[in-house]
Amino acid sequence: MDITIVFLLGLIISLIGVIPPGLLNMSAAKISLKEGAMHGIMFSVGVCVIVCAQTFIAAIFSRYLSNHPDVIDILKRVAFVIFVLITIYFLVLARKQPKTSMPSPSKSKQNRFFHGMFLSSLNVFPIPYQSYMTLTISSFGWMTFDRVGIGSYVAGSASGTFIMLYIYIFFFDKIKDKAFTTQKNMNFIIGTITGLVALFTLINIIREL
């Protein structure tokens, strides 16, 4: 196992996961626009602290699952159904929803670090997402669930999250009026991504039959 590859995989996977506009990256951008870049950076650091903990939990859970293949088979089928439902939601139903405004952060200029930790702790999606992804890359032999492997992946995950938040902080003012950031187009992008994940999961299930 090459720890550099594990680090880069964690970075890329987390980077992709934070690309769609959401509560965390949009809050980081708005804090930066209203209060300055340093406040946005401190918010992002707080987010990444929780991301480290969530990714670690996901990796430990994946290590357990890797030792219980019967449970993995069940979860793969459950994951396939969930991703299909999410895909249908974003491609068909979510387009009918009215455009939502960007969340407004607290007016206080203090404790942005803890503000980031708090909002990140409310977002539990990274745990199943990272658990699925670590199981996938470990199945290809690219990662092992020892201390070095998990530590490298967690570090890469935190780095990827911070890089994307950093991009939002410094470039949001330039892209906020672009067409691809509209709710309709982002729903289509997210639905496409989850559709591809569902297809990949289905292929794995069929190959194991």
Domain ranges of the chain: 3-203
Q: What is the pLDDT of residues 24-69, one digit of tens each?
A: 887 888 888 788 888 889 999 999 999 999 999 999 988 888 777 6
- Joined tokens for residue 144: 């092992």
Q: What is the pLDDT of residue 110?
A: 57
Nearest to 43 by CA among 171, 177, 161, 181: 161
User: Distance from CA of residue 121 to its chain's centroid?
Assistant: 13
- Kind plus residue range of the DSSP H or E element containing 178: none
Buried b (16+ CB within 10 A) or exposed e, 171-199: ebeeeeeeeeeeeeebbbebbebbbebbe
Nearest to 140 by CA among 80, 84, 200: 200
